[in-house]
C-alpha cells in the first residue's frame, strides 16, 4: 500500500514537526530593524549563488566565509567587496565559524558527503540553516538531519528552489484539482546534453592552499585527484549520487509533493555507464528507475550528452492522467488533453478536458531569489512552517533518490518496509542505507 504524506507525518518516528521551541542555543527575536548575519560553508558553486541571492536583501550581511580552498576564499572576498563594506572573517575549519555567536544563519554549499555533519553541528550551535540539495548522501543521514532539526527547533531550508516557482505551484494545483483524471504515471527526467566525458587524470598533490584532509572529512581516505574535487565530485559515490540525486531531488520533490506520496512500495532500476563507459566517473550516465507507490508509478530517467528528453524538454515532470497530461519544467507548463476514441486513424474524438497551451515562466522572476527570501522570512519569525522546502521535504526527495541509486547498485527490485524503515530482509540493500564515517570523524547522533 502506498504511504501518503499525511500518514508519514503522523506515523513516522523521524518526521519533522514545525517547531518554535528552542531548547538550547542562541535564541534571537528579530524586529524589522535587526540585520541578519550569515556565514557560508563551501562557496565555490551553489553556496555562493545562494549567498549572492540572500545578499539582495539589504538587511542581510555576510560576516564569515569558510572554504578549504584559499583561492576560493580570496575570490569570494573580492566578490563581496563589491556588495558590502564589511570584511567577512575567513575560516578553513567550519567548526570555528560555528563558534561565532554573532552568526544567525549559515549556508552549506559543500559536497554532499559533508551536508549531514555540518547541518547537525550548525543547528546544535544555535544557527538556522540553508542547506544545498540533496540534503545527504545516505538515507540514514537524512533521518539524522530530520531528528536534529526537530530536536533543536531551528529553521532549515533546503535548496530545492523549484518549490518557490509559480509554474510549479500552478501545476500542483491542477494535479490536485482532479481535472487530469486518474494519474497513473508520473515521469521525471533530466537529459544533460552539456555533459561530456570526464577525462581520466592521474593522482597528484593537492593544489597549494587546499586543505585536502578537511575536504575529505568523513569520506574515505584517497589520494588527491582533480576529477574528484571541484564540481566533478558529483560523479563519485564517496561524495554524491550522480544525476539521480543531483537533479533527481528537484524533479522528484515536485512529483511526490503534488501526488501526496512519500515512500514507495518498491523500486527497480537499470542503466550504467553507457554513453562514456571508459571515462573517469563512477555514477551512471544513463539510468531509468521505476518507483511503485501503490496506485501510481513514477519513472525517473537521466542521460548525459543528450538534450532530447521527453516532450522535447531537457528536464521536467509529466503527470499522466486519463483525461490529460500536465508537463512542467523550469520554463513553464502546459496541459496536453486526451481525446475520446473515435475509431482507428481518426483524431476528431471529443477532448476529455480543456487543454492549456504552454504558459512560460515569468522571465523577470528569479525563483532562487523567491526561495531565499522565503528563508529569511522564516528566520525572522523563527517559524519553520513558513518554509517552501523544509528539511522534511528535502529528506523525502533525497530518500527516494537514494532508493533509486540503491536499486541500481544492487541490480535487484527492492521493497521498502515503512514500519522498519529498511528493505526488509534484503541485507545488501540495507547496508547501502547506512553511512560510514572515516578519518576520525564521528557520525552525528540521530
Confidence band for 348, pLDDT divided at 50, 70 and 90? confident
Domains, the chain, ordered by start: 12-163+367-396 (3.40.50.720), 166-204+236-362+399-431 (3.30.360.10)
Q: Going by C-beta distance under 8 Å and a sequence separation of 6 or more, which residues neighbour residue 74?
A: none
Over residues 422-430, the mean pLDDT reads 97
Over residues 301-322, the mean pLDDT reads 97
66-92 per-position pLDDT tens digit: 999 999 999 999 999 999 999 999 999
β-strands 324-329, 315-321 pairing: antiparallel
Give the per-residue pLDDT at 342. 79
Q: Going by C-beta distance under 8 Å and a sequence separation of 6 or more, which residues neighbour residue 426?
A: 410, 412, 414, 415
Cβ atoms of residues 271 and 284 within 8 Å: yes
Look-up of cell digits 528552542: 22
Over residues 125-129, the mean pLDDT reads 98
Confidence band for 160, pLDDT divided at 50, 70 and 90? very high
Residue 253: is its pLDDT beyond 70?
Answer: yes
Confidence band for 23, pLDDT divided at 50, 70 and 90? very low
Q: Residue 273: which of 192, 189, 193, 197 has the closest Cα?
A: 197
With H, G, I as helix, E, B as strand and everything else as coil, classify residue 392. helix
Percent of residues, the chain, with pLDDT higher than 90: 89
Average pLDDT of the chain to the nearest whole number? 92
β-strands 332-337, 324-329 pairing: antiparallel
E-assigned strand segments in 104-182: 105-108, 128-131, 156-158
Amino acid at each position: 500500500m502506498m504511504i501518503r504524506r499525511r500518514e508519514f507525518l503522523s506515523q513516522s518516528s523521524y518526521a519533522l514537526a514545525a517547531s518554535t521551541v528552542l531548547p538550547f542555543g542562541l535564541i534571537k527575536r528579530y524586529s524589522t530593524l535587526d540585520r541578519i548575519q550569515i556565514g557560508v560553508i563551501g562557496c565555490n558553486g551553489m553556496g555562493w549563488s545562494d549567498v549572492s541571492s540572500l545578499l539582495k536583501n539589504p538587511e542581510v550581511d555576510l560576516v564569515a566565509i569558510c572554504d578549504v580552498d584559499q583561492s576560493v576564499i580570496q575570490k569570494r572576498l573580492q566578490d563581496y567587496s563589491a556588495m558590502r563594506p564589511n570584511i567577512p572573517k575567513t575560516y578553513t575549519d567550519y567548526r570555528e565559524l560555528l563558534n561565532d555567536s554573532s552568526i544567525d544563519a549559515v549556508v552549506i554549499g559543500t559536497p554532499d558527503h559533508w551536508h549531514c555533519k555540518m547541518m547537525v553541528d550548525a543547528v546544535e550551535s544555535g544557527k538556522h540553516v540553508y542547506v544545498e540539495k540533496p540534503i545527504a548522501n545516505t538515507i540514514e543521514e537524512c533521518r539524522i538531519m530530520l531528528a536534529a532539526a526537530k530536536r533543536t527547533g531551528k529553521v532549515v531550508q533546503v535548496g530545492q528552489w523549484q518549490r518557490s516557482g509559480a509554474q510549479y505551484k500552478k501545476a500542483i494545483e491542477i494535479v490536485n484539482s482532479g481535472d487530469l483524471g486518474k494519474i497513473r504515471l508520473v515521469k521525471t527526467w533530466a537529459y544533460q546534453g552539456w555533459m561530456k566525458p570526464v577525462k581520466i587524470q592521474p593522482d597528484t598533490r593537492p593544489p597549494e592552499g587546499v586543505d585536502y584532509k578537511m575536504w575529505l572529512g568523513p569520506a574515505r581516505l584517497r589520494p588527491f585527484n582533480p576529477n574528484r574535487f571541484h564540481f566533478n565530485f558529483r560523479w563519485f559515490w564517496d561524495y554524491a549520487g550522480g544525476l539521480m540525486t543531483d537533479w533527481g531531488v528537484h524533479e522528484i520533490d515536485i512529483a511526490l509533493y503534488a501526488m501526496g506520496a512519500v515512500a514507495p512500495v518498491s523500486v527497480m532500476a537499470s542503466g550504467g555507464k553507457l554513453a562514456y563507459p571508459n571515462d573517469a566517473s563512477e555514477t551512471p550516465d544513463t539510468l531509468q528507475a521505476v518507483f511503485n507507490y501503490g496506485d501510481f508509478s513514477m519513472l525517473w530517467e537521466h542521460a548525459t550528452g543528450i538534450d532530447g528528453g521527453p516532450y522535447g524538454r531537457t528536464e521536467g515532470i509529466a503527470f499522466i492522467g486519463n483525461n490529460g497530461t500536465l508537463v512542467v519544467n523550469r520554463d513553464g507548463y502546459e496541459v496536453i488533453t486526451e481525446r475520446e476514441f473515435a475509431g482507428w486513424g481518426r483524431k476528431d474524438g471529443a477532448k476529455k478536458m480543456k487543454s492549456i497551451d504552454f504558459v512560460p515562466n515569468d522571465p523577470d522572476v528569479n525563483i532562487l531569489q523567491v526561495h531565499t527570501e522565503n528563508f529569511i522570512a522564516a528566520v525572522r519569525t523563527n517559524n519553520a512552517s513558513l518554509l517552501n522546502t523544509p528539511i522534511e521535504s528535502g529528506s523525502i526527495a533525497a530518500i527516494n533518490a537514494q532508493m533509486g541509486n540503491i536499486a541500481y547498485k544492487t541490480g535487484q527490485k527492492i521493497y521498502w518496509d515503512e514500519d522498519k524503515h529498511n528493505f526488509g530482509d534484503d541485507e545488501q540493500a540495507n547496508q547501502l542505507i547506512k553511512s560510514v564515517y572515516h578519518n576520525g570523524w564521528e557520525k552525528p547522533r540521530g
